[in-house]
């Protein structure tokens, strides 16, 4: 009898151990999320920053006051700083060689923007001094930037940020610098694109982050169809493991689509500028794209999915009179009315169709 009882208890113990093993194997699945919003080119012509100059200071807050409440709802917010923020220490300047007030960066940070592209065809407009001023400014802020650096050491650092348990980084490239030569031995001042460089950069960081954002300053100005080279580079970057490709430079909106799991925004267009309409307001109608980045983790394995992709057209409004342009304001089309443009509903239909040319992506309705 004693032997039988001992055997029975041992059998119960084995069952308990097996249950524990099964519970260990059935690891709990967890999810985390960050939300991302993206807008295009901050192209600061003199009329834009002169409009912001009041009582001896530059204050751009009124120009983006309708955007701030939207951006503040997102964890991450990207924009392209088209013109360099070399600041008033060196003379401000307009087209074709720009230099802009650093106070614009203050306004964008205050609005919630925390990811900034610095690699554009205008990065070297005012030379090395403006780049060094720009880097000093951005390094003093809690903002992720990429594409322009003040030294080889600065360039070589892999900057990784984390939000809600999701690690991310930004890689940024421009096609060129408007023919301005990069000073010898100082290639770090602006990051020019090459397939080889992109491959090395992505391979260096792919296993260290959950999400790679790639900002591409590419394409042909004022053309709403991506070039064959844009499409080729997008395919290539997607094959390397880029998660989101953010296109800038054409100054007009281009389609939004997917290549496999990679989100491709070929061009967001301008965000704010004083570009007079090139053709039917195409430099004044812009894009804001929003997406959720969702991380699923089970045991040692994790995966990333992009969900809830949505888009909103923006309008770069300003008035003309007395020989100047003034009252600049970026307006979501969901808040548009005829006081800003009598033809805004037709413009909404026209440029929504451009965004949806390759894929039937979601776009907020016009007001």
Mean pLDDT over 303-319 rounds to 97
pLDDT at 19 over 60: no
Is 363 within the bounds of a domain? no
Separation of alpha carbons 249 and 320, rounded Å: 25
Asked if residue 362 belongs to a domain, the reply is no
Predicted pLDDT at 17: 53
In a domain, 184, yes or no: yes
Is 159 inside a domain boundary?
yes
Do residues 66 and 330 make contact, with C-beta atoms less than 8 angstroms apart? yes
Q: Answer whether 287's CB lies under 8 Å from 269's CB.
A: yes
What is the share, in percent, of the chain residues with pLDDT greater than 70? 93
CATH for 142: 3.60.21.10
Average pLDDT for the chain: 93
Q: How many CB atoms lie within 10 A of CB 240?
A: 18
Judged against a pLDDT cut of 70, whether residue 217 lies above it is answered with yes
The answer to whether position 18 is within a domain reads no
pLDDT above 80 (res 13): no
- Quickly list H helices, 241-316: none
Residue 4 lies in a domain: no
Domain containing 125: what range? 31-355
Name which residue leads in pLDDT, 13 or 73.
73
Look at residue 18 in the predicted model and tell me its pLDDT. 52
* Confidence grade of residue 189 (pLDDT, cut at 50, 70, 90): very high
Percentage with pLDDT > 90 across the chain: 89
Task: Tell me, yes or no, whether 9 lies in a domain.
Answer: no
Asked whether residue 12 is domain-assigned, the answer is no
Tell me the C-alpha to C-alpha distance, in Å, between residue 195 and each of 104, 179, 299: 33, 20, 35
- Strand-pair partners of 286: 314
| pLDDT in the model for residue 219 | 98
Q: What is the domain count for the chain?
A: 1
| pLDDT above 70 for 270 | yes
Per-residue model confidence (pLDDT) at position 28: 87
Give the tens place of pLDDT for each residue, 22-68. Answer: 444 567 899 999 999 999 999 999 999 999 999 999 999 999 999 99
Q: At residue 296, does pLDDT exceed 50?
A: yes
The residues facing 54 across adjacent strands are 57
Q: Which stretches does DSSP call E strand in 177-220?
A: 211-217
């Amino acid at each position: 009898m004693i032997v039988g009882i001992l055997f029975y208890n041992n059998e119960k113990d084995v069952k308990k151990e097996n249950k524990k093993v099964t519970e260990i194997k059935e690891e709990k699945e967890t999810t985390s999320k960050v939300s991302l919003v993206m807008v295009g080119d901050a192209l600061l012509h003199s009329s834009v920053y002169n409009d912001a100059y009041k009582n001896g200071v530059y204050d751009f807050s009124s120009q983006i006051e309708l955007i701030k409440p939207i951006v503040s709802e997102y964890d991450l917010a990207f924009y392209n700083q088209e013109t360099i923020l070399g600041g008033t220490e060196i003379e401000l300047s307009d087209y074709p060689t720009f230099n802009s007030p650093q106070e614009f960066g203050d306004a964008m940070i205050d609005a919630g923007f925390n990811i900034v592209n610095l690699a554009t065809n205008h990065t070297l407009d005012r030379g090395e001094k403006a780049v060094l001023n720009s880097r000093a400014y951005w390094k003093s802020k809690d903002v992720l930037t990429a594409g322009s650096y003040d030294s080889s050491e600065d360039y070589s650092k892999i900057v990784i940020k984390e939000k809600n348990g999701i690690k991310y980084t930004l890689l940024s490239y421009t096609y060129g610098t408007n023919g301005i030569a990069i000073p010898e031995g100082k290639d770090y001042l602006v990051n020019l694109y090459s397939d080889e460089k992109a491959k090395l950069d992505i391979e260096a960081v792919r296993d260290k982050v959950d999400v790679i954002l790639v900002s591409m300053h590419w394409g042909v100005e004022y053309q709403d169809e991506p070039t064959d080279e844009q499409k080729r580079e997008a395919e290539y970057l997607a094959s390397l493991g880029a998660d989101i490709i953010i296109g800038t430079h054409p100054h007009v909106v281009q389609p939004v689509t997917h290549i496999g799991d990679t989100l491709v925004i070929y061009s967001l267009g301008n965000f704010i500028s004083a570009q007079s309409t090139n053709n039917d307001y195409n430099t004044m109608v812009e894009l804001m794209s929003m997406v959720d980045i969702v991380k699923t983790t089970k045991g040692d394995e994790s995966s990333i999915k992009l969900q809830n992709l949505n888009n909103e057209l923006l309008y770069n409004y300003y008035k003309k009179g007395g020989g100047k342009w003034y009252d600049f304001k970026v307006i979501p089309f969901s808040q548009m009315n005829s006081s800003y443009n009598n033809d805004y509903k037709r413009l909404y239909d026209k440029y929504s169709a451009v965004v949806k040319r390759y894929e039937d992506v979601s776009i907020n309705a016009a007001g």
